[in-house]
Structure formats: C-alpha cells, structure tokens
Structure 1
C-alpha cells in the first residue's frame, strides 16, 4: 500500500474516534473541538454523522487511490473540513487556536499531500492503440 493510503487510513481511524465523541461523549467533543460554544446532543450526532462519512471516504480512497472521482471527493472533504474549522475560529469564535491546530495539521497535511500526488496514482502499463 502506498504511503498516502496508509496516511488516509490513519486519518480515517482518528476521525472514527471523533465519531464516538459525537455520539457518546458530548463533553469531550465540546472540550476538544467547540470549546467556546454550547454543543447540544443534536449537534454532536450531526458532527458524528458528518465525521463518519469523511472517515468512510478516507478508507475507501486509501484502497482506491487510482479512482479519480473518489480521490477528488476525499480531497474536497479535507478542504471543507479545513475551511469549516477555520471559519469557526476566525468568524464565529466557537473554537480556540489550540483546537484549530490539530485540524490544520491533519487537514492541511492531507490537502498538500493529495495535491502533490494528484496524478501519480494512475494505472500503469495501459497503452492506447492508435
């Protein structure tokens, strides 16, 4: 498995832990992500479902790096998460720079790595007959 695939599996696993917090440990979600706002159980479950979807994308993409559509959707999930948390910090003030730093590390690293690897996961040895 390629290094990017292993990275996506790691990030997917970390996201899976966040799913647990969204559904079953709302206090940890509040403390670890949205520490400057009130987080209801509905917000927690919504966060959990959104994170479960992005976790699924990470795992699927890790095993199918050559699938351009899946690669793009997974890449965009990182872009959306990055900008979501950036606006939560800069505009809405619901999170702290400490909480934002973890998101920036994982989403930022993933965005840059996926951009650098954009065309490198194409099937090899396919020649077109002319």
Structure 2
C-alpha cells in the first residue's frame, strides 16, 4: 500500500507549498467542466442563468424558443462548447504552471488565466447580464478571486526574481 501511495504522490507537483497542488486540482476540475460543457447545457446554464426574473430588461421573444430546457439562460450548445474549449485551454496553462511554478513566465501566464476568467465572469454578471449571482456563478468567482490573491501574495515564494 505504501508503494502505491508513493507512486501516486510522485505524479503530484514536487514543489513546496500548496499552490501547485491547488493549480493541479483546479486544472483537473476544469478539464471535467470542459467535458460536461460539450455534453450538456445543464451546468453552463447554471452559470449563465440570464438576468434575474425580476430584472426590468425585457427578454427577446425568441429566447424561450431557443432554449426550451433552460428558458432564462442565454446559453446555447455552441456557446457551451466554446466555453468548454476556453476552459480546456486555461486548464492546460494552469496544469503546466502547477509543475513549473518557479518559472516566472508560467506563473504569470497562469495568473493571467485567472485575470481573464475573473473579468469574463464579472462582465457577464455586471455588464452583460447573462449571468446572475447564485450557486453557478459563485464557484468560478470565488476560485478566481481566491487564486488571484493567493498567487499575488505568493509570487516571491515560488518565483525568484
């Protein structure tokens, strides 16, 4: 059993601290999220739930015809697959950074993936109104916010200038 555990842990990033393992975990979850974005609209529609039902903006009349399973969501099969592709690309950068966290360029690229994600989710919520605060949006926003702060604070620990 000890041999199995040591074999499995040998695949984890071999850097001190928890940030590399966090980046690996988020990458694995993101890859799974990419797969589901290609296979169902269910989860994407939770993030992009559309404006609150009490919002004053009227919906276009075609909205319910285009998305009968999620009448308030602007998500479409194409937008879900595009989101899945975008998520897969970001997860690859983060995965590579988890194993190369002391490389300043990789650290910055991973950091920038969280900046882009944060800007995307916040603009979809606050500017475009395609997302609304709730369980579907809270997870990505908390992960992006927390990881941005963590990476900002830990730069000097992982990257030597």
Say how many residue pairs are matched: 122
From 19, 22, 28, the equivalent of 1:7 is 22
SS in 1 for 2:156: coil
1:70 equivalent to 2:106? Answer: yes
Calculate the TM-score normalised by the size of structure 1.
0.87
Distance across 1 between alignment mates of 2:41 and 2:137: 18
CA distance in 2, matches of 1:34, 1:56: 23
Deviation digits for residues 23-66 of structure 1 (CA, Å, limit 9, x no counterpart)? 11123211x21111322221111111100011111111010011
1:107 aligns with 2:121: no
Counterpart of 2:156 in structure 1 is: 119
Worse-superposed segment, 36-45 or 109-118: 36-45
Q: 1:122 to 1:87 in 2, by over 3 A?
A: closer
Q: Does 1:34 align with 2:70?
A: no
Deviations 1:52-102 (A, max 9, x none): 011111111010011111110110110110111001111111111113321
Deviation at 1:104, TM superposition (A): 1.7
**More helix as a share of residues:** 1
Show the counterpart of 2:79. Answer: 43
**Quick check: which has more Rg, 1 or 2?**
2
Which whole-Å CA distance do the structure 1 matches of 2:83 and 2:100 have between them? 26
- Structure 2 residue aligned with 1:24: 39
What is the Cα-based RMSD across aligned positions, in Å? Answer: 1.4
Q: What runs of 5+ residues in structure 2 fail to find an aligned partner?
A: 1-13, 51-72
